[in-house]
């Protein structure tokens, strides 16, 4: 049994915000955390507490942090917050699901302790639900932020408006993304599939989104309303490439099984190539050429050569390096004194 101390809170619907919206579901923001009290957790918490939408529960699930997380949370006077502290580290994915376990909201957002959302994220998502109550997912655009919180890239959610096949097509064509922080999930639907789980708990979030979208549908919000923080700790490690590939194949099999019969062969190819490329991308940072080559071959074998390693190496590894080299040469020549 999970060790925790759980404080129940009373919630209310603000009469000052969103009064024009008839549909005002309780929304739970779940923040799983571990040893980030002095880093990004305060920023993530501020995003959750600062939402313009008021009918919120905020679950902070502390995975037995050894820093000042407990002191910070115990001193936080906010009736919307339920602080859960585990007596021992239960693993990252179990901590994600602990957030779901304690959620009382009709909809749920898994907000990692280093990610951010705009102050109107929940308000915009709930507005999108006005004519779609009970839908499985509400998905917004997303930005990639660096360690300082500065935006590096932004993707509007330009995905197709409906249909499971259309969602997978949009994902594979990079017109939409699948992250936790930009996805509001129907809580009952999430619990109905056993919450976040995959064979190796690497693609567990995407697997959940795919299953729920197929069964309950989704709504798109085009605007960018969330930020995923990119740093070394959340990149796929080449050392775990076996696990990444196996989780990818589980996801691929699920996509094909859930797709309409007429679309399965095409999605098998399209999503297979896309997932193969994702796994190749985890290898680019490998500094040792012989190890990199072995990893590329490893991924290619898992995906039965659906997208050759040499093609990825040329287009996504070698070509960018060559362009960077040419840019450096041009800058050097441009700054050289003329005779």
Query: What does residue 335 show for φ and ψ, rounded to 5 degrees?
Result: -95, -5
Give the model confidence (pLDDT) of 279-338 as tens digits: 999 987 777 888 989 999 999 999 999 999 989 888 877 655 555 655 655 565 665 554
Q: Which of 286, 252, 296, 245 is nearest to 270 (CA)?
A: 252
Give the model confidence (pLDDT) of 13-24 as tens digits: 333 344 355 789
- Residue 222 above 70 pLDDT? yes
Handedness of CA 98, 207, 113, 225 (dihedral sign): negative
Return the bridge partners of 214, or none. none
Give the model confidence (pLDDT) of 36-78 as tens digits: 999 999 999 999 999 999 999 999 999 999 999 999 999 998 9
* Beta strand spans in 63-180 (E): 81-85, 107-110, 116-117, 137-145, 151-155
Residue 194 neighbours by CB under 8 Å, 6+ apart: none
Fold of 27-234: Spore Coat Polysaccharide Biosynthesis Protein SpsA; Chain A (3.90.550)
State the span(s) of the chain assigned CATH 3.90.550.10.
27-234
Return the bridge partners of 186, or none. 107
Give the model confidence (pLDDT) of 231-283 as tens digits: 655 444 556 999 999 999 999 999 999 999 999 999 999 999 999 999 999 98
Residue for token digits 């985890």?
Answer: 282
């Amino acid at each position: 049994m999970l060790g925790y101390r759980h404080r129940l809170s009373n919630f209310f619907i603000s009469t000052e915000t969103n009064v024009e919206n008839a549909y005002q579901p309780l929304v739970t923001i779940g923040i799983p955390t571990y040893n980030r009290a002095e880093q990004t957790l305060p920023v993530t918490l501020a995003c959750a507490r600062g939402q313009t939408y008021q009918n919120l529960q905020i679950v902070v699930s502390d995975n037995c942090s050894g820093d000042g997380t407990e002191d910070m949370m115990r001193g936080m006077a906010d009736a919307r917050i339920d602080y859960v502290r585990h007596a021992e580290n239960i693993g990252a994915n179990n901590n994600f699901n602990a957030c779901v376990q304690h959620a009382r909201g009709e909809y749920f957002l898994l907000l990692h302790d280093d990610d951010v959302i705009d102050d109107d994220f929940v308000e915009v998502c709930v507005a999108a639900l006005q004519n779609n109550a009970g839908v499985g997912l509400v998905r917004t655009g997303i930005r990639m932020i660096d360690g300082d919180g500065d935006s590096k890239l932004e993707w509007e959610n330009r995905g197709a408006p409906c249909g499971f096949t259309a969602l997978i097509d949009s994902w594979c064509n990079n017109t939409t993304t699948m992250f936790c922080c930009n996805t509001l999930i129907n809580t009952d639907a999430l619990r109905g599939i056993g919450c976040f789980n995959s064979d190796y708990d690497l693609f567990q979030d995407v697997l959940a989104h795919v299953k729920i979208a197929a069964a309950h549908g989704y709504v798109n919000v085009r605007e960018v309303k969330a930020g995923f923080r990119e740093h070394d700790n959340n990149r796929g490690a080449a050392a775990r490439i076996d696990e990444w590939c196996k989780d990818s194949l589980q996801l691929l099999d699920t996509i094909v099984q859930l797709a309409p019969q007429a679309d399965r062969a095409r999605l098998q190819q399209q999503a297979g190539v896309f997932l193969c490329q994702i796994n190749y991308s985890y290898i680019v940072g490998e500094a040792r050429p012989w190890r990199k080559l072995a990893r590329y071959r490893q991924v290619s074998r898992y995906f039965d050569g659906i997208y050759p390693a040499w093609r990825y190496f040329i287009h996504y590894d070698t070509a960018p390096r060559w362009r960077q080299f040419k840019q450096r040469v041009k800058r050097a020549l441009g700054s050289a004194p003329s005779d």
